[in-house]
Chain A
Amino acid sequence: MNMPLKIENLKISFGRGAVEAVRDVSLELRPGEILALVGESGSGKSLTARSVLKMFPEGAVVDGRISLTGDNVLEASPNDLERLRGEAAAMVFQEPSTALNPVFTIGWQIGEGLKAHGMRDPRERRARAVELLRDVDIPDPETRVDCYPHQLSGGQKQRVVIAMALALRPAVIIADEPTTALDVTVQAGILDLLRRCRDELGSSILIITHNLGVVADLADRVAVMYQGRIVEEASSTALFSSPKADYTRRLLAAVPRLGQGTAKDDNTSRERLVLVADQLEITYPSRFGRTPVPAVKSVSFDIAAGEVLGLVGESGSGKSTIGRAVVGLSPVTGGAMRLFGADLRHVKGESLRQLRRRVGFVFQDPASSFNRFMTVFDCIGEPLRVHRALSSSSEFRSRVLELLDQVQLPREMATRYPGELSGGQRQRVGLARALALNPEFIVADEPTSALDVSIQAKVLELFRALQKELGFAALFISHDLAVVEEIAHRVGVLRHGQLLELGSARQVMSSPSDDYTRLLINSVPVPDPLAQAKKRMLAGSIS
Chain B
Amino acid sequence: MLSYTLRRAGALLPVLLVVSVIIFSLAYLTPGDPARTTLGPEALEVDVQNLRDSMGLNDPFWVQYFRWILNAIHGDLGTSYFLNMSVAEAIGQHFLPTLQLAVLTILYALVISIPLGTLAARWRGSIFDRGVAGFTLIGLTFPSFVLSLILVIAFSVWLHWLPVAGYRNPFSDPWNGMRYLILPALSLGTIYAAVITRTVRASVLDVLKSEYVDAARSRGVNETRLLFAHALRNAGLPIITMIGLSFASLVSGAVVAESIFNIPGIGSLLVNAIERRDYPVLQGVVLFLTCVYLGLNLLVDLLYGLIDPRVRLSDAGAK
Determine if A150 is an interface residue (Cβ-Cβ < 8 Å).
Answer: yes
Q: For residue A87, which residues in chain B have a CB less than 8 angstroms away from its CB? A: 220
> Closest 9 CB pairs between A and B?
A113-B219, A86-B220, A85-B220, A86-B219, A101-B212, A148-B309, A91-B218, A98-B211, A116-B220
Which of the candidate stretches B48-56, B96-104, B279-287, B310-318 sits at the interface with the other chain?
A: B310-318
Determine if B308 is an interface residue (Cβ-Cβ < 8 Å).
Answer: yes
* CA–CA, A55 and B218, complex, Å: 8
Q: DSSP class of B's interface residues: helix, strand, loop or mixed?
A: helix
Assess the B211–A95 pair: CB atoms within 8 A.
Answer: yes
Mask: chain B, 209-242; 1 = CB below 8 Å from A; 0 = not? 0111111111111110100011001100000000
Q: For residue A109, which residues in chain B have a CB less than 8 angstroms away from its CB? A: 216
Determine if A132 is an interface residue (Cβ-Cβ < 8 Å).
Answer: no
Assess the B313–A151 pair: CB atoms within 8 A.
Answer: yes
Residue in chain A with minimal CB distance to B213: A101
Q: For residue A148, which residues in chain B have a CB less than 8 angstroms away from its CB? A: 309-310, 313
Q: For residue B225, which residues in chain A have a CB less than 8 angstroms away from its CB? A: 112, 116
CB interface residues, B 260-319, toward A, < 8 Å: 307-310, 313, 315, 318-319
> Do A102 and B222 contact each other (CB < 8 Å), given the known contacts A151-B318, A290-B315?
no
In the complex, 5 of the A-B residue pairs with CB atoms within 8 angstroms, ordered by the A residue number, are A109-B216, A116-B222, A151-B318, A164-B215, A287-B315
Determine if A53 is an interface residue (Cβ-Cβ < 8 Å).
Answer: yes
Residue in chain B with minimal CB distance to A100: B212
* CA–CA, A78 and B220, complex, Å: 10
CB interface residues, A 82-118, toward B, < 8 Å: 82-87, 90-91, 93, 95, 98-104, 109, 112-113, 116-117
* CA–CA, A99 and B229, complex, Å: 16
Interface residue tally on B, bucketed by range: 20 to 34
Assess the A82–B220 pair: CB atoms within 8 A.
Answer: yes
Q: For residue B217, which residues in chain A have a CB less than 8 angstroms away from its CB? A: 55, 85
Determine if A167 is an interface residue (Cβ-Cβ < 8 Å).
Answer: yes
* CA–CA, A112 and B230, complex, Å: 10
Assess the A93–B220 pair: CB atoms within 8 A.
Answer: no
* CA–CA, A151 and B312, complex, Å: 12
* CA–CA, A78 and B318, complex, Å: 40
> Do A101 and B234 contact each other (CB < 8 Å), given the known contacts A95-B211, A151-B318, A290-B315?
yes
Residue in chain A with minimal CB distance to B310: A150
Assess the A99–B219 pair: CB atoms within 8 A.
Answer: no
Assess the A55–B214 pair: CB atoms within 8 A.
Answer: yes
* CA–CA, A84 and B234, complex, Å: 26
Assess the B211–A93 pair: CB atoms within 8 A.
Answer: yes
* CA–CA, A293 and B213, complex, Å: 35
Determine if A73 is an interface residue (Cβ-Cβ < 8 Å).
Answer: no
Assess the B215–A112 pair: CB atoms within 8 A.
Answer: no
